[in-house]
Amino acid sequence: MKLSANEEYGLRCLVRIGYAGEGGSLTIPEMSQAEGVSPAYAAKILRVLRRGGFVKAARGKDGGYTLARPAEAIVIGDVMDVLGGRIFESSFCDSHAGQAPICTRSVDCSVRSLWRAVQVAVDQVLSKATLRDLLQNEEEMNTWVRTIPGAKGLHFIQ
C-alpha cells in the first residue's frame, strides 16, 4: 500500500502542466529537468497521462503537453486510477482464495470488508480533489483538505 513511482511522478507532472495554464504547454525536456528524471522516463510517464485522457500532446516544433480539459474538470481520483490502479480489487479474493473458511468462497469475509472501508476512505479524499485544488500552495491546500466532509480527523495537518 505504497505510492508507486508512476503515481508520484505522474501527479507531479500533471500539476506542472496545469501550472502552465490555458495556452501554455510543457515539453518533455522541460519536464525532465523540472522533475529531475531522464527525458525518456518523463516521456513514459506523460504517455500514461495522455492515454488516460488528462493531457493532450502537440507534436513537432513548438510542441508540448497541455491539459485536455480545464483543471477543475480533472478529478484526482480518476488520475490515480490510471496511474496506479485501486487499492483493493475484488478479483484478488477470487483468484487467491484458500481452502479453509474465511476467504474460501469469497463470501462472509471480514477482511474484505475492511479493505473496502479503506478504499472508500481513500476515494472520499481523492474523488473530491480536482487538479484545480492542487494548483495552489501547500497552505491553501491544507485549508482545502479540512473542508472534505467526513474527514474531520485531518485537523492535525498543519
Integer Cα distance of 112 and 88 in angstroms? 9
Least distance to its own copies, CB of residue 68, Å: 19
Give the gyration radius of the chain's Cα atoms: 19
Q: Note whether 135 binds its own copies by CB under 8 A.
A: yes
Binding mask 34-73 for its own copies (x = CB under 8 A): xxxx------------------------------------
Least distance to its own copies, CB of residue 21, Å: 14
Helices (H), the chain: 5-19, 28-35, 39-51, 76-84, 91-95, 110-126, 131-134, 138-145
Interface with its own copies (CB under 8 A), residue from 11, 17, 46, 48: 11
- Could you give the C-alpha distances from 98 to 27, 91, 136, 138, in angstroms and in order? 49, 14, 47, 45
By the 10 Å C-beta count (0-12 exposed, 13-18 middle, 19+ buried), 143 is classed as: exposed
Which one of DNA, its own copies, ligand FES, none is in contact with 117 (Cβ closer than 5 to 8 A by kind)?
Answer: its own copies
> Which positions from 18 through 37 interact with its own copies, judged by CB under 8 A?
19, 33-37
45 or 128: whose CB is closer to DNA? 45
Q: How many residues bind DNA (CB under 7 A)?
A: 27
> Which positions from 27 through 86 interact with DNA, judged by CB under 7 A?
27-29, 37-38, 40-41, 43-44, 46-47, 50, 57-65
Residues 112 and 87 sit within 8 Å (Cβ to Cβ): no
Residue at shortest CB range from ligand FES: 93
Task: Name, in order, each residue with C-beta under 8 angstroms of 122's C-beta and a sequence gap of 6 or more.
Answer: 87
Span interacting with its own copies, options 48-56, 58-66, 67-75, 105-113, rule CB under 8 A? 105-113
